[in-house]
């Protein structure tokens, strides 16, 4: 009779509500060791597996099986794939770093007309170039410096040049070929292309973690994008540098704040990946002073108290500041916005207004485990921000290790 009453109550909520509840659940989860299979943020959802596999008993690492999500333990609403993995640990940082990225070619910053005897001509625009394009090769020669490209155009004697470029639309990157026709400048008596380019991009943020087994690192939690075009910077490598924080412009409603700092002279690591979920590579310096923490899987997070590990200007070491996880999002289409966190620590709010630009990558801890990292701040409320799941960043760190091994 109790079970029947519960079913009637659930159905009274309507099919739409049940469908919405199912959509809010992850399609798959990873479970470490012999931990019980459950979703901490949804205690009313019971995950049921055949033969009690969900308890972790006699289940081997790297094995997979399917559980059924039961609403209030009664109504099946979704199947979820479960994979057992080994427990992973990382060394948490929360320290500021500078990031220098070297493009896989030369980034087009702008196009300008060239003064010729017959008038103003814009060769770059005429050939189809756009700001944000990456010029990889000219006549088959890989372009690495502005000086190299300038020399190639100047020595062309007006002959057409074949460009191989990369162009990103935000979701994907495609390669194409363009033909550039240099023109003779009447201003400096040289062959010109009217193309403004830049060789490197840089950013300032927080190093999130270093893996304990391979010394792979993850940071920022979001991509470094071109400041002029907003597109993700395609790289062939980069340097992780030390950084010095000198001040902070506090955030306020409608005006995001920022940490003020500069790149230091010490190289800490090699960047091999710049992607939507952060920057990754090989850490080369000493990790002394970092704290080892267990990496929690996404289903272990729950609404409630958490702590942000970050560094403030004038301080040599990171500190923990109180916060609250207010919402958790399992949508795979939003890889850098997996949760919403609110800063509650009076000291951090007094210093910076809450979350500011430059804090991206600061680790978020809950129940003693590493659960996420800051990625973005809310423009209209600097005490609020988004975070990326720790396990998502860890997967990309492992991929960066594969990239390093392939390069070797």
The whole-number pLDDT of residue 3 equals 44
Clarify whether residues 373 and 308 are in a common domain.
yes
Q: Identify the pLDDT of residue 1.
A: 38
Element (H, E) at 404: helix 390-407
In a domain, 108, yes or no: no
307 within a domain of the structure (yes/no): yes
What is the mean pLDDT of the segment spanning 147-166? 95
Q: Which of 22, 20, 23, 35 is nearest to 297 (CA)?
A: 35
Residues 247 and 387 in one domain: yes
pLDDT tens digits, residue range 107-123?
Answer: 898 999 999 999 999 99
Q: Is residue 104 part of a domain?
A: no
Strand arrangement, sheet containing 75-85: 28-32, 75-85, 64-71, 45-48
Q: Average the pLDDT over 93-105 and give the result.
A: 91
How far is residue 281's CA from residue 272's CA, in Å, rounded to a whole number?
5
183/126 Cα distance (integer angstroms): 11
User: Average pLDDT for residues 217-244, to the nearest whole number?
Assistant: 86
Q: Are residues 289 and 144 in the same domain?
A: no
One domain for residues 364 and 219: yes
Mean of pLDDT values over 16-28 = 85
Contacts of 334 (CB under 8 A, 6+ apart): none
CB 324 within 8 A of CB 304: yes
- Measured CA to CA, the distance from residue 323 to residue 364 in angstroms comes to 9
Residues 31-53, mean pLDDT to the nearest whole number: 86
CA atoms of 249 and 256, how far apart (whole Å)? 9
CA distance 248 to 353: 10
Q: Is residue 346 part of a domain?
A: yes
Pairing of strands 363-366, 304-310: antiparallel
> 192: number of CA atoms within 13 Å, CB side?
20
CATH, residue 129: 2.30.42.10
Question: How high does pLDDT run on average in the chain?
Answer: 89
Give the separation between CA 237 and CA 252, rounded to whole angstroms: 36
- Residue 19 CB: number of other CB atoms within 10 A? 12
23 plus 79 within the same structural domain: yes
Residues 246-271 pLDDT 10s: 999 999 999 999 999 998 889 999 99
pLDDT at residue 408, rounded to an integer: 38
Same domain? For 329 and 391 the reply is yes
212 plus 133 within the same structural domain: no
pLDDT for 59 beyond 70: no
pLDDT (average), residues 12-37: 83
Domain limits for position 166: 113-193
Do 233 and 141 fall into the same domain? no
- Statement to judge: residues 59 and 134 lie in one domain: no
Q: Let me know whether 186 and 210 are in one domain.
A: no
Write down the pTM of the prediction. 0.83
Residue 16 has pLDDT above 60, yes or no: yes
What are the pLDDT digits (tens) for 286-339?
998 899 999 999 999 999 999 999 999 999 899 999 999 999 999 877 788 999
245 and 392 in a common domain: yes
Largest CA distance in the chain: 94
Asked if residue 58 has pLDDT above 80, the reply is no
Buried/exposed code over 69-97 (b: 16+ C-beta within 10 A; e: otherwise):
bbbeeeeebbebebebeeebebbbbbbbb
Count of domains forming the chain: 3
Clarify whether residues 249 and 274 are in a common domain: yes
Which of residues 382 and 13 earns the better pLDDT score? 382
β 75-85/28-32 pair status: parallel
Question: Residue 329: CB partners within 8 Å, gap ≥ 6?
Answer: 337, 338, 339, 340
**CA gap 153, 301 in Å, rounded:** 56
> What pLDDT score does 402 carry?
66
Distance CA 54, CA 61 (A): 13
Q: Give the three-state DSSP class for 30.
A: strand
Q: Two tokens at 24?
A: 């809010």
Give the chain's radius of gyration (CA, Å).
Answer: 25
Task: Pull the structure tokens for residue 180.
Answer: 């550039």
Choose the final residue of a domain: 155, 175, 193. Answer: 193
């Amino acid at each position: 009779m109790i079970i029947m009453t519960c079913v009637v109550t659930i159905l009274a909520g309507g099919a739409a509500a049940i469908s919405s509840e199912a959509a809010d659940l992850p399609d798959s989860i990873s479970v470490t060791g012999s931990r019980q299979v459950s979703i901490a943020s949804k205690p009313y959802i019971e995950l049921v597996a055949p033969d009690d596999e969900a308890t972790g008993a006699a289940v081997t690492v790297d094995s997979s099986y399917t559980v059924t999500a039961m609403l209030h333990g009664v109504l099946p609403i979704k199947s979820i794939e479960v994979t057992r993995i080994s427990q992973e640990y990382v060394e948490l940082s929360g320290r500021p770093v500078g990031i220098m990225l070297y493009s896989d070619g030369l980034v087009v910053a702008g196009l300008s007309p060239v003064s010729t005897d017959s008038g103003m001509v814009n060769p770059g625009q005429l050939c189809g170039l756009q700001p944000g394009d990456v010029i990889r090769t000219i006549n088959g020669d890989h372009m690495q410096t502005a000086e190299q490209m300038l020399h190639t155009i100047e020595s062309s004697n007006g002959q057409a040049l074949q460009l191989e470029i990369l162009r990103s639309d935000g979701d994907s990157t495609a390669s194409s070929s363009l033909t550039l026709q240099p023109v003779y400048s009447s201003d400096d008596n040289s062959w010109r292309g009217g193309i403004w380019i830049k060789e490197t991009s840089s950013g300032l943020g927080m190093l999130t973690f270093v893996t304990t087994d391979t010394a792979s690192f993850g940071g920022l939690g979001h991509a470094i994008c071109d400041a002029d075009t907003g597109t993700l910077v395609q790289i062939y490598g980069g340097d992780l540098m030390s950084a010095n924080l000198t001040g902070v412009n506090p955030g306020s409603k409608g005006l995001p704040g920022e940490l003020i700092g500069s790149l230091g002279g010490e190289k800490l690591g090699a960047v091999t990946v710049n992607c939507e979920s952060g920057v990754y590579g090989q850490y080369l310096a000493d990790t002394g002073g970092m704290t080892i923490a267990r990496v929690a899987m996404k289903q272990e997070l729950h609404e409630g108290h958490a702590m942000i590990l970050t560094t403030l200007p004038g301080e040599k070491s990171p500190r923990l500041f109180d916060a609250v996880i207010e919402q958790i999002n399992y949508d795979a289409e939003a890889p850098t916005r997996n949760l919403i966190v609110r800063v509650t620590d009076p000291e951090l709010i007094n210093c910076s207004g809450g979350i500011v630009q430059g804090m991206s990558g600061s680790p978020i801890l809950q129940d003693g485990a590493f659960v996420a990292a800051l990625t973005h701040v809310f423009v209209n409320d600097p005490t609020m921000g988004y975070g990326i799941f720790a396990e998502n960043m860890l997967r990309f760190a492992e991929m960066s290790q594969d990239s390093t091994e392939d390069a070797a």
